[in-house]
Amino acid sequence: MKLIPKLLLASVLMMSLAGCSKYLDKLDDPNLVTDPPLNGMLVTATYESALDVYRVGYETSYLVQYLSSNVQGSDRDIYNEVDYSSRWTAIYAAMMNVRQMNDKAAAEGAYHHLGVGKILMAMNLNLLINTFGDVPYSEALMGQSLLIPTFDNQAALFDTTIALLDQGITELNKTGTSLVLDATSDLIHGGDVAAWIKTAHGLKARFLNQRTKKADYSAAAVLGELASSYTSGSDDAALTAFDGRSPWNEVANDNINLLLDGWLSTQFVDALDGTTFGVVDPRLPKIATITRFGDYRGTPNGAGRVGTGTNQEESYLSVDGFYSKGNAPLWLVTYTELKFIEAEAALRSSDRPRAYTAYIEGIRSHMEKLGVAAGDITNYINNPTVNVGQANLTLADIFKEKYVAMFLHPEAWVDARRFDYGYKDFTLPQNAAMNTFIRRFAYPTVEISRNSANVPTIDGLDEKLAFDSN
């Protein structure tokens, strides 16, 4: 794996006001670089924003039952309130870094840095509104001048994310920038401006497709954005350089070192091993460890482990797995995801031939990326459970395959809520604290403790967020 330039990252890493005391502690630190170079800021902006996808994805993977806790009645499994202060703080820290880069880029006429920054800001903000709902934004990144920001309406912030992407595309299309994107400082696309433009359109397609429950949902608008986005897996946006191990490899190694983590859920394993759908998915061995019984076994969410946790009676993320090996990229936006978005939007607009072609290509491209043998890909796609034909293709078919392809990605929880958790045999966790599926995060204690007057009151974790409401 590639390692990020550590000294450069350390010198430009800024703290956001979300971690108020830590931020204030740094203000008079003479060791901090007060005027870092733009390409140095780009390292931090791309790195931390990409890691936010992992940070949120780690939490949501329990909610969509990719992962399960080894502890019976774990709060993450059973819908008790979990304090996401570290995730909240990290996202706002990343957004502060991006805002500072954007300010400097705008002042210096570095259009391409500003364009990337706009896209990263949209990506972070979308993560926030799809997990917490109303969040601080318009007053949130002002540093010392405003430490108790008001909360912005999540529906209005969705419009902000679209505007940010449009602005990013505009900046990236400008010529005569004062500074080019440095390939070694851009940890996502290696300084490739055209790739960033494609990613912006891909994100816009994703965001617009999140609105399938809204009256203004437009399949045509989604498909229009896809036309300017990825054409193959080589376009994918991913983080491939890390300060040490890749994050999911850290999780897999923690489990080996008996810091039990990365246990696969029974729901996910059953969806792939033939239990739920009657077809064995050849992607499972590319992801999970095999048990001492010679098969794959998940852990039921909420139930905890059946044995000691050290005798391989259940399956975990593999240290050699596609997503969790040492040099595994952290996938942000992929061609595979966009094919499933295309399939859904085309089906919603009654274009069955296009929908079916995209559906099959989504499956095929994901399997090829995971390194599944060509014969196994053909056998899976030809199975009647998968090869349903244009006339019989349903949203359930698309969501089922996209669920597998979005493994560990936070967008999978957006999909689950848009689909109202309608996956076959998907059940509440054992010992669930609610009698319905979870729809949102609770606000973190770090924000409640310092900004309680502005933190909205929520009705419970089953409260639907704006995109999830009709």
Q: How far is CA 344 from CA 89, 113, 194, 204, 466, in A?
A: 34, 33, 26, 15, 20
CA-nearest of 287, 23, 282, 291 to 144 is: 23
Residue 273's DSSP bridge partners are: 280
DSSP state of 291: P
Both tokens of 75, joined, read: 């709060």
In terms of DSSP H, where are the helices of 210-262? 219-226, 247-256
- Residue 265, classed as helix, strand or coil, is strand
H or E element, residue 333: strand 330-333
Q: How does DSSP assign 268-281, residue by residue?
A: HHHHHBSTTTSSB-
**Which value, in Å, is the radius of gyration of the alpha carbons in the chain?**
22
Q: How far apart are CA 443 and CA 84, in angstroms?
A: 8
| pLDDT at site 143 | 73
Pair 240, 1: CB distance under 8 Å:
yes
Q: How does DSSP assign 126-167, residue by residue?
A: HHHHTTTSSB--TTTT-GGG-SSPPPBPHHHHHHHHHHHHHH
DSSP state of 18: G
| pLDDT at site 259 | 85
Pair 13, 96: CB distance under 8 Å:
no
What amino acid is encoded at 354 in this protein? Answer: R
What percent helix, strand, coil does the chain show, rounded to 5?
Answer: 50, 5, 45
CB contact burial 192-208 (16+ within 10 A = b; e otherwise): ebebbbbbbbbbbbbbb
| pLDDT at site 144 | 63
- Residue 397, classed as helix, strand or coil, is helix
Pair 433, 79: CB distance under 8 Å:
yes
Pair 347, 364: CB distance under 8 Å:
no
Query: What kind of architecture, by CATH, is found in domain 2-245+328-334+407-465?
Result: Alpha Horseshoe (1.25)
CA-nearest of 307, 301, 318 to 267 is: 301
pLDDT per residue rounded down to tens, the chain (470 residues): 566 655 345 444 443 333 333 433 443 444 456 789 999 999 999 999 999 999 999 999 999 999 999 999 999 999 999 999 999 999 999 999 999 999 999 999 999 999 999 999 999 999 999 999 999 999 999 876 678 999 999 999 999 999 999 999 999 999 999 999 999 999 999 999 999 999 999 999 999 999 999 999 999 999 999 999 999 999 999 999 998 899 999 999 998 888 889 999 999 999 999 999 999 999 999 999 999 999 999 999 999 998 788 889 999 999 999 999 999 999 999 999 999 999 999 999 999 999 999 999 999 999 999 999 999 999 999 999 999 999 999 999 999 999 999 999 999 999 999 999 999 999 999 999 999 999 999 999 999 999 999 999 999 999 999 999 99
Whether pTM > 0.75 for this model: the answer is yes
CB contact burial 348-366 (16+ within 10 A = b; e otherwise): beebeebbbbbbbbbbbbb
